[in-house]
Amino acid sequence: MVFATLADFQHLLQYRTIKFSDFVDVEFGEKASALMPGCCVVVLNEGSQNADTILTNASTIAIICWKGKNNMSIMVSQLDGQELLERLYARFGKHPVRDENENANPDTDVVENAEDGVGGSEVASQGTVSPGEKEIGGNSKIIP
């Protein structure tokens, strides 16, 4: 178990895999690299507490990671990682740094699905779905 600063915890969630030398807190990177290879727990150090005095309880935030030879990777889905990032923002008021093009995907278009009464939306790649079709789960379907 290792304790990460808010910045390093956010970077793990945001980038999913980080080289030990790229952690903001050099001491955390050194401690993480000294762990045995395999599964480990990274606990968020909320504030200026010493890692030796942190008590874990129901409000403790932690994630499971895989410690490789040169890097650490989180073992949570991308969706769960993004949700946890948003919760950290709500809790601490510090929004994680984002790449400008992180959410920009020019090949993706949103198709409204109002005909089936749901009013939801399906994501379809531009140019691959003809008029009268919509993409559901990777398959084009003709809309009746």
Q: pLDDT 10s digit of each residue in the chain, 144 long?
A: 899 999 999 999 999 999 999 999 999 999 999 999 999 999 998 766 555 555 667 778 899 999 999 999 999 999 999 999 998 888 887 655 544 444 444 343 433 333 444 444 333 334 444 455 555 555 545 554
Helix (H) or strand (E) holding 39: strand 38-44
Contact 5, 25 (CB under 8 A): yes
Compute the Cα dihedral for 69, 71, 72, 77 and give only its sign: negative
Chain centroid to Cα 134, Å, comes to: 28
Q: What is the pLDDT of residue 67?
A: 96
Query: Are residues 17 and 82 located together in one domain of the fold?
Result: yes
pLDDT computed for residue 103 by the predictor: 45
Residue 55's domain comprises: 2-92
20 & 79 share domain: yes
Per-residue pLDDT at 123 = 38
Q: How many domains does the chain have?
A: 2
Q: Are residues 6 and 39 in the same domain?
A: yes
In a domain, residue 142? The reply is: no
